């Protein structure tokens, strides 16, 4: 069974369980104990299928959940928050996710740290909007890397070589689009003037390169990205560096980003490390939810004795979700329940804006 099929089946099974549990509330389908326990739905807005946000949000939902009627932690079941049913929602990405949080449409979301800060303060790409002061952070998650991916036979060796090409730069309202524009802007390249843009997700972009309709795409995701991995195995790719004075200029403009590398062997055919930039992915919620809900969700991640096993075996980025790194790249206040949890554990660190 392929990895994509496995994820799809797990997601369908999870949704089916939610529907069955929902139908049983107030009826005879659940035990009296389960009926008495309140079920709390906790959506995690993520990103497009084929990236890293969606499978990681699904994994996080699995870790922090403990639905009514399920085995208790003491009896060998999961040790998430009792009564919580958490699940991933596919979205366009970070920009769409902060808007959904501000509109009370989801309980939590994965969001890049730069987008989180700009939305909260009404700056950067959000300068024409009111600040989203409802946002608060549950935890930092893992680093996301800018990945400039070109067709193997397109002769693209530097970002400057994208000039005159057809380049996908992410879905509308995505953090990928924000990051792609930063990279291209640092190289003096603008949409429509210097290259022909497409606004599609990385999985679609890879298929368009294969079919000859596109030359390259830019992604901002935790490596290894499923869509890029599949592309590398099926028909090859060239991974282009973001480095030098252009990278320094990008970091000066957007200090949430820092220099990093994508290691050799991350993808099939990648024999050498590739210089790039990275930004933190955050787990974000909203302040108008109960403090105990936030506390329970974070405790379901970091106070869960089964979490390390599930995370380490569920996705390559799972090992990055640790209590010690919960503060990395956090630029706005924590949700009160999350702050309480970290203070109780003695690891609380105040957020720091750039």
Segment 134-138 mean pLDDT: 98
190-204: buried (b, 16+ CB within 10 Å) or exposed (e) per residue?
eeeebbebbbbbbbb
pLDDT at 8 over 70: no
The 10s digit of each residue's pLDDT in 286-326 is 999 999 999 999 999 999 999 999 998 888 888 889 999 99
User: Of the ranges 14-23, 83-92, 128-137, 154-163, which one carries the lowest mean pLDDT score?
Assistant: 14-23
Rounded Cα–Cα distance for residues 95 and 106 (Å): 14
135 or 6: whose pLDDT is higher?
Answer: 135
Q: What is the pLDDT of residue 50?
A: 74
Contact criterion met (CB below 8 Å) for 280 and 329:
yes
Q: Which two tokens stand for residue 114?
A: 């730069």
| Residue 162 CA neighbour count, 13 Å, CB half | 36
CATH superfamily of this structure's domain 145-279: Periplasmic binding protein-like II (3.40.190.10)
C-alpha dist (Å) from residue 17 to 87, 109, 118, 132, 187:
11, 21, 37, 34, 49
Q: What is the pLDDT of residue 354?
A: 75
Sign (positive or negative) of CA dihedral 220, 225, 228, 232? positive
High-pLDDT (> 70) share of the chain, %: 90
Segment 6-11 mean pLDDT: 41
Give residue 37's pLDDT band: very low, low, confident or very high (50, 70, 90): low
Residues 6+ apart with CB under 8 A from 216: 148, 149, 150, 151, 154, 156, 162, 165, 166, 167, 168, 209, 240
Task: Give the mean pLDDT of the chain.
Answer: 89
Residues 6+ apart with CB under 8 A from 275: 241, 242, 243, 247, 259, 260, 261
pLDDT at 22 over 60: no
Sign (positive or negative) of CA dihedral 199, 200, 206, 209? negative
The 10s digit of each residue's pLDDT in 72-107 is 888 888 899 999 999 999 999 999 999 999 999 999
The 10s digit of each residue's pLDDT in 220-231 is 998 988 889 999
Give 3-143+280-345's CATH code, choosing from 3.40.50.720, 3.40.190.10, 2.40.50.140, 1.20.120.10: 3.40.190.10
How many beta carbons lie within 10 A of that of residue 328, not counting itself?
A: 18
pLDDT at 3 over 60: no
Give residue 342's pLDDT band: very low, low, confident or very high (50, 70, 90): very high
Q: Determine the straight-line distance between the first and last CA of the chain, rounded to whole angstroms.
A: 44
Q: What is the pLDDT of residue 26?
A: 29
Strand partners, 240: 148
High-pLDDT (> 90) share of the chain, %: 78
Residue with tokens 């946000």: 53
Give residue 2's pLDDT band: very low, low, confident or very high (50, 70, 90): very low
Q: What is the pLDDT of residue 352?
A: 86
Q: Which two tokens stand for residue 224?
A: 């290894």
Segment 42-58 mean pLDDT: 91
pLDDT at 66 over 90: yes
Segment 193-208 mean pLDDT: 96
Residue range(s) of every CATH 3.40.190.10 domain in the chain: 3-143+280-345, 145-279
Helix 53-64 crosses helix 291-302 at what angle (to 10 degrees)? 100
Q: Which two tokens stand for residue 300?
A: 């379901």
Q: What is the pLDDT of residue 258?
A: 95
Q: What is the pLDDT of residue 280?
A: 95
Rounded Cα–Cα distance for residues 126 and 130 (Å): 8
Q: Which two tokens stand for residue 346?
A: 């003695």
Look at residue 197 and give its three-state secondary structure: strand
Rg of the chain on CA atoms, in Å: 21
Strands (E) located in the chain: 40-45, 84-89, 108-112, 135-150, 166-168, 196-198, 216-221, 238-240, 258-262, 274-286
Q: What is the pLDDT of residue 39?
A: 87
Residues 6+ apart with CB under 8 A from 224: 266, 267, 316
Q: What is the pLDDT of residue 16?
A: 38
Q: What angle do CA 256, 262, 264 make, to 5 degrees?
A: 170
């Amino acid at each position: 069974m392929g990895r994509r099929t496995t994820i799809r089946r797990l997601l369908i099974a999870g949704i089916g369980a939610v529907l069955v549990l929902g139908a049983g509330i107030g009826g005879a389908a659940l035990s009296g104990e389960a009926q008495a326990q309140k079920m709390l739905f906790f959506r995690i807005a993520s990103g497009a299928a084929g990236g890293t946000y969606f499978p990681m949000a699904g994994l996080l939902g699995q870790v922090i959940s403990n639905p009514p009627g399920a085995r208790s932690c003491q009896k060998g079941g999961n040790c998430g928050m009792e009564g919580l049913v958490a699940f991933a929602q596919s979205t366009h990405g970070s920009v769409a996710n902060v808007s959904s949080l501000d509109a009370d449409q989801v309980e939590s979301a994965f969001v890049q740290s730069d987008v989180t800060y700009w939305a909260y303060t009404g700056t950067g790409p959000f300068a024409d909007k009111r600040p989203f002061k409802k946002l608060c952070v549950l935890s930092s998650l893992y680093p996301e890397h800018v990945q400039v991916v070109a067709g193997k036979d397109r002769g693209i060796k530097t970002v400057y070589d994208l000039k005159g090409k057809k380049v996908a730069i992410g879905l509308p309202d995505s953090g990928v689009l924000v990051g792609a524009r930063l990279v291209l802007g640092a190289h003096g390249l603008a949409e429509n003037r210097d290259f022909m843009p497409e606004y599609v997700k990385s999985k679609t972009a890879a298929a368009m390169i294969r079919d000859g309709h596109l030359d390259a795409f830019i992604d901002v995701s935790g490596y290894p990205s499923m869509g890029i991995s599949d592309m590398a195995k099926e028909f090859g790719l060239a991974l282009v560096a973001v480095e030098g004075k252009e990278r320094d200029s990008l970091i000066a403009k957007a200090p949430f980003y820092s220099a990093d590398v994508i290691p050799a062997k991350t993808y099939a055919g990648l024999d050498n490390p590739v210089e790039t930039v990275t930004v933190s992915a955050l787990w974000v919620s909203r302040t108008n939810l109960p403090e105990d809900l936030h506390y329970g969700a974070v405790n379901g991640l970091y106070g869960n004795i089964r979490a390390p096993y599930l995370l380490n075996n569920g996705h390559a980025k799972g090992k990055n979700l640790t209590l010690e790194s919960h503060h990395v790249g956090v630029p706005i206040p924590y949700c009160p329940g999350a702050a309480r949890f970290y203070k109780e554990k003695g690891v609380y660190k105040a957020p720091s804006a750039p």
